[in-house]
Amino acid sequence: MATAVVIVVVAALVAVAAALALVVVRRVSAHAPEPNEGLVRAVDEMRLKMDELSHDLSEALERAERENRRNRLFGELGGSIDLEELMDRVLDAAMEIPGFDAAMMVVEGHGAAPTVATRGMTAQETAKPPTSGVAGALAGTITVTYRYGRDREPPDAELISGGVFIPLIGRELSPVGTLSLFWRSRDYEPLPEHIEQAESLVESSIPALENARRYGEARKLAETDALTGLYNQRYFHETLRREVLRAQRYERALALIVFDVDDFKSINDKVGHLAGDRVLAQAADRLREAVRAVDVAARIGGDEFAVILPESSAEDADQLYRRVQSSMRGTSLGPAEDRLRLSAGIAELQHGDTAAGLFERADGALYRAKDLGKDRADVSRSVDRS
């Protein structure tokens, strides 16, 4: 901020000096009997120098403002422990560095898929991003220039022409991920000082990224059922409350389905508890394969599961039940059983519903399905006002 203030003050002083010089020239010209060519030439040169100085000051002011924004983003890096939010802040700071048109950040997960965030990239580029051409973790910063055949893309297409790939190296030289910065101008080459700025950004962000990654892993463990890998009961009820409030606020559809493994006690008695746990894990796998990416599947009891379906109706939930029911036929229970059977209760959010009320209606429909003979789904059609 101090740099920007100094530049503004200097620019104001230059403008005042230029105005005074012009006034002096006008006064001299007013008393001269005829135009003085040397004086006119000197005035023109002075104006040209003033214009150049003004342009230089304008660029300096722009650089100072950009540096202030980047410094502010630097200062905000330690203010979050959410990995995705932190990655967004790093990319925002990276895009303030001159010369880059797009950026991608990848943070590796321990035993899980990496987290990816991008800026200025098309869907096709995000799906199949440019690479450094180096397998495995990078040993250091790599600059790459790309060349495309004429038959692949139109000549005027704004393709990525090159990139800088900077590794994120954590404690004990462990790889954390990569920050990639790209440009589209065909004749562009990043300046060394701009690459140094990007490397400084990476170095400053690594401690915060490592903390956020550890926090995310710990949070996932706290939200996940150890046996099935689905969300646990606590996370399910928190999410259900949040989704019900959101759906009521924006008048969106929401459905809930509660599953129960039929006669699971007898399954445990026949095959043993360890084998029974394997059955539950297999059932969770079938459920995970059937749900959409936006659905929230959880284990909410011993042999009881639930799925929250945003933007969905009771009919959508019933279709999910049929998919899960069909896939369960391939779950082996041993030679004495033919297949795993599930009963389900379905409820659709209605005006005046609370999260607790929606769950109670779905749970009540599940018990009705059990009473009607099991291996089926029952739908709660209305809110009980009694």
Q: What span, in angstroms and rounded, lies between the C-alpha atoms of 99 and 85? A: 24
Spatial separation of the C-alpha atoms in residues 123 and 126, rounded to whole Å: 5
Q: Are 313 and 253 in contact (CB under 8 A)?
A: yes
Q: Would you list the DSSP string of 15-42?
A: HHHHHHHHHHHHHHHHHSSS--HHHHHH
Q: Is 95 helix (H, G, I), strand (E, B) or coil?
A: coil
Residue keyed to tokens 């401690």: 207
Residue 40 region by backbone torsions, left for phi larger than 0, else alpha for psi between -120 and 50, else beta: alpha
Which amino acid type is present at position 365?
A
Structure tokens at 26: 């006008």
Paired strand residues for 118: 104
> Which residue pairs, CB below 8 angstroms and at least 24 apart, start in 53-59?
53/14, 54/11, 54/14, 54/15, 57/7, 57/10, 57/11, 57/14, 58/11
- Cα separation, 192 vs 56, in Å, equals 21
Instruction: Tell me which of 303, 316, 363, 378 is the catalytic residue.
Output: 303
- E strand or H helix at 57: helix 37-76
The question of whether 318 is a catalytic residue gets the answer: no
Backbone angles phi, psi at 178, to 5 degrees: -150, 140
Any idea which residues carry the catalytic annotation? 303
